[in-house]
Structure 1
Amino acid sequence: MPPHDLRNAFEEGGDVSARLDFDEPSTAEEWELAREMTGETPEVRSSTLAELRQMIDTRMELPNRTEESFLIKFLRARSFNVEKAYNLLVRYYRFKETHPNFHKEVYPLRLTYIGDDDVVCVPPYRDQNGHRIIIYRLGNWKPRNYSVDELFKATVVILELATLEPTTQIKGGVCIFDLSGISLSHVYHLTPAVASQIVELMGGSFPIKIHGIHVVLQSFLFDMIYTLFKPLLDARTRERIYIHGHDLASLHTHIDPRNLPAKYGGMRKEYSYNDWIETLKMDETVIRSLVQLGYKIDPEDDTEEMWKTVKESLQKAS
């Protein structure tokens, strides 16, 4: 099924949008949800932000990035336990230091070849619980054309963008690993080192709660892959992995088919990763955030006017 053009996606209803949602909780209902899911209240938010800033300043082992919009991600991901939020922040920076090739000198708007192959997809809608959804179709990956590092680069970009959204910070996300088409050539490239990096990335280096990792349409080769991963997983992560095989009804007990593509027994159209990127590249807040995170943006990747506006706003901020 060909990807559906996001320019026409809004005809399906208000829940389909490739734009990121930057709105903080404002209504009584939204604040109640934030309190139930993370323990957040205006008072808790204010006091823990001050405590986390003080911890960063006192311990002097992290970059001094202390703006509220950045730190709140880590507090929400650890339910406003300041010590745990700080430790997550340490792991976040450690991951970046250990794997600079995943984010340094990376032009995120040029990773379109991954979208061309439909290896990864971020649907412009959420599941029934408000979780962001990331879909990997690893059988479409062509190792002879680009390395697994390119998939890591795309994943890190997706996680960085997703964690800009207060809704995702509060509600978290789910992953679907579609392993149809996996071959021995794919297994060959999934070394123990790669397995360790995937676990490190998904298991606690980014400020997002992953509520479920769903494996579907796998073949017997999955056992070879999972043998690499299982010893690296802690008990909590193992509890979040659901292996459905071809039993899509099992997947539907976790994700409503109204929030899944037709390939997985759902009711949604297919959407392209590249359409998502094309929409985000026109968002000044997104471009500014990517630049602040150290990514490279070439004016040729974007509109020149947008780039000029971003540069001016960053110069004013500094």
Structure 2
Amino acid sequence: MLMLFEMEQNFSVTTMEIAKEELREDEATRKNALNQMRLWLKKNNKIIHSRSDDSFLLRFLRAKKFSLPLAQEALERYLLLRQTFGRKLFYDIDIMCPRLEKLLTLGYIFVVPKRDKNGRRIIITRPGVFNPSKWTNADMCRMHGVTYETLMEDQENQIRGFVHYTDAAGMCLQQLTLFTPREAVRIVKNGERTLPMRHKEIYGINVPSSLKFALDFGLSLISEKIRSRVKIFSSIEESHTYVDKSLLPKEYGGEMEMSTMIDLWKQEMLEKREQILKNEKMSVRDDMFSESAKQGRVSALTNSHQHMVGSFRQLTVD
């Protein structure tokens, strides 16, 4: 296929080597898997409409290392998630929306322009600038949604994966009340299992000691594989051992002003805007899915989670 040939020509030799070594991907495997995915889509009565272009299907195949059954399950889960929780997470995720544009300008979540030494994009999140009295949990979800959807359109990102860099300075107890504990469980679980993203490194800085219980709760929800990639630092300088500070905003020891990085990221988002909005046409027959599937297939809360529910309910917010 000409498209596949052109795709390989646009990738560096190193990128193709990573795809082969980490994802078991080569031209023959990719071509066969794409054909099988398209045949499966045509025969799948649960799916009313889905994208079937290379870039879209490959994000699931790569996330599941070209296991067809796992990639097909992930695609079904993703489409169902879009439809079930769509209004909060996947619909109206237009960066031209004034509320989302304002959150971007504040630097709540953005992506630095340069890739790190492993070719990965660095996603910076600053929850402390999110004012719960001005913004809703839907705003937060939609902002993450438009960011991740934009990133996943890039096939280099699909192969290389992502680095998360979160500055928790300024976070307060009130922000924890944006979601119920059960909602938090669903978001974290689906973020790891359903969104076809390769989370390679996760860093946190400036975590207030008063919110350590919330951090422990969040870490208890993710798999051991992802948990092993999380590192928490007491200072920005300490994080420079793992993250090249020249890639970070000037405010974190880098060279480029944060506002400039945000402007550059906005341009990237605008370039992908039309495609992101077209994604809203995808749909499934939700009556063909079980209730547990529509609820994110989250199992009952464990005793430790129940304890956390109590902690959330006891919060007093000024």
Find the residue that maps to 1:108 and give its secondary structure.
coil
The CA deviation at 1:68 is 2.0
**Which of 80, 87, 94 is residue 94 of structure 1 equivalent to?**
80
**Which of 24, 33, 36 is residue 7 of structure 2 equivalent to?**
24
1:290-309 mapped onto 2 (5 Å cutoff): 290-294=276-280
Residues 279-308 of structure 1 show CA distances to partners (whole Å, capped at 9, x for unaligned) of 23653xx2331232128xxxxxxxxxxxxx
* Aligned 8 A contact 1:25 1:31 in 2: yes
Residues 126-175 of structure 1 show CA distances to partners (whole Å, capped at 9, x for unaligned) of 22211111111111111111112211101111111101111101101111
Distance 2:14 2:107 in 1: 37
Is the aligned partner of 1:85 residue 2:68?
A: no
Distance 2:53 2:234 in 1: 44
> Relative to 1, partners in 2 of residues 1:112 and 1:203: Cα closer, same or farther, differing over 3 Å?
same
Identity percentage of aligned residues:
24
Distance 1:77 1:29 in 2: 18
* Aligned 8 A contact 1:179 1:218 in 2: yes
Question: Which residue does 1:232 correspond to in 2?
Answer: 221
TM-score (norm 2): 0.76
* Aligned 8 A contact 1:118 1:272 in 2: no
Question: Which residue does 2:46 correspond to in 1?
Answer: 61
Distance 1:203 1:148 in 2: 19
1:1-318 mapped onto 2 (5 Å cutoff): 24-26=7-9, 28-62=13-47, 63-101=49-87, 102-110=89-97, 111-246=100-235, 248-249=237-238, 251-271=239-259, 275-276=263-264, 278-280=266-268, 283=271, 286-294=272-280
* Aligned 8 A contact 1:128 1:255 in 2: no
Residues 168-195 of structure 1 show CA distances to partners (whole Å, capped at 9, x for unaligned) of 0110111111101112222333531342
Instruction: Give unpaired runs (5+ residues) of structure 2.
Output: 1-5, 282-318
> Relative to 1, partners in 2 of residues 1:273 and 1:61: Cα closer, same or farther, differing over 3 Å?
farther
Residues 21-80 of structure 1 show CA distances to partners (whole Å, capped at 9, x for unaligned) of xx8331545433332232221111101111222333344323343222221111122221
Distance 1:261 1:81 in 2: 38
Distance 1:120 1:278 in 2: 11
Find the residue that maps to 2:242 and give its secondary structure.
coil
Aligned residues between the structures: 270
TM-score (norm 1): 0.76
The CA deviation at 1:201 is 4.5
* Aligned 8 A contact 1:109 1:277 in 2: no
* Aligned 8 A contact 1:195 1:228 in 2: no
Find the residue that maps to 2:8 and give its secondary structure.
coil
Find the residue that maps to 2:52 and give its secondary structure.
coil
* Aligned 8 A contact 1:37 1:171 in 2: no
AA aligned opposite 1:108 = I
Find the residue that maps to 1:177 and give its secondary structure.
strand
